[in-house]
Amino acid sequence: MDESIKVPYFPQKSPAEYFRIALDAIKKITGVEVMPDQEALLFIEAGKMCDLSGDWDQALESYEKALEQCEGDDIRAEILKQMGHIRSKRGEWDASLEAYEASLEILERLGDLREVGNIYNSIGYNCFETGDMTKAGEYYNEALEAAQKCDDVQLISDVQNNLGILANVMGEPEQASKHYQQSILGYEAIGDVHGLAQVYHNLGMTYVGKKNWELAGEYYQRSMDLCTEIGDIGLMSIIYANKAQFAMHLHAPYVAKLYCDKAFEIFDKTGNKMGMAEAYKLYGVIYSGMQEWDSAETAFQKGLGICEEYNNRLTKAEILYERGLMKQRQDEKREAIDSMQGAIDAYESLGISKEIGKVKSKMQEMMV
Q: How far, in Å, CA of 167 to CA of 227, rounded?
A: 24
Phi-psi region of 239 (alpha: psi -120 to 50; beta: other; left: phi over 0): alpha
The answer to whether 176 touches 167, Cβ cutoff 8 Å, is yes
Q: How far, in Å, CA of 77 to CA of 144, rounded?
A: 20
The answer to whether 109 touches 71, Cβ cutoff 8 Å, is no
CATH topology of domain 135-231: 1.25.40
What residue segments make up the domains of the chain, in order of their start? 135-231
At residue 14, the pLDDT reads: 56
End-to-end CA distance of the chain: 75
By CB neighbour count within 10 A (0-12 exposed, 13-18 middle, 19+ buried), where does 56 fall? buried
331-343: b or e for each residue (b if 16 or more CB lie within 10 Å)? eeeebbbbbbebb
At residue 31, the pLDDT reads: 55
Q: How far, in Å, CA of 322 to CA of 304, rounded?
A: 12
At residue 30, the pLDDT reads: 61
The answer to whether 82 touches 62, Cβ cutoff 8 Å, is no
pTM above 0.85, yes or no: no
Helix (H, G, I), strand (E, B) or coil at 233: helix
Residue 347 amino acid letter: Y
At residue 316, the pLDDT reads: 95
Q: How many residues are there in the chain? A: 368
Q: Which of 310, 288, 306 is nearest to 297 (CA)?
A: 288
Q: Running DSSP on this structure, what letter comes out for residue 72?
A: S
At residue 8, the pLDDT reads: 40
pLDDT average per 10 residues of sequence, the chain (368 residues) = 40 54 57 69 84 82 88 91 92 93 96 95 93 93 96 96 94 93 96 95 91 92 93 90 91 95 92 93 96 97 95 93 96 94 93 88 85
Q: How far, in Å, CA of 228 to CA of 77, rounded?
A: 31
Contacts of 142 (CB under 8 A, 6+ apart): 117, 120, 124
Geometric angle at alpha carbon 127, from 360 and 353, rounded to 5°: 20
Q: Which of 95, 37, 47, 97 is nearest to 68 (CA)?
A: 37
Q: How far, in Å, CA of 63 to CA of 42, rounded?
A: 10
At residue 11, the pLDDT reads: 44
The answer to whether 330 touches 297, Cβ cutoff 8 Å, is no
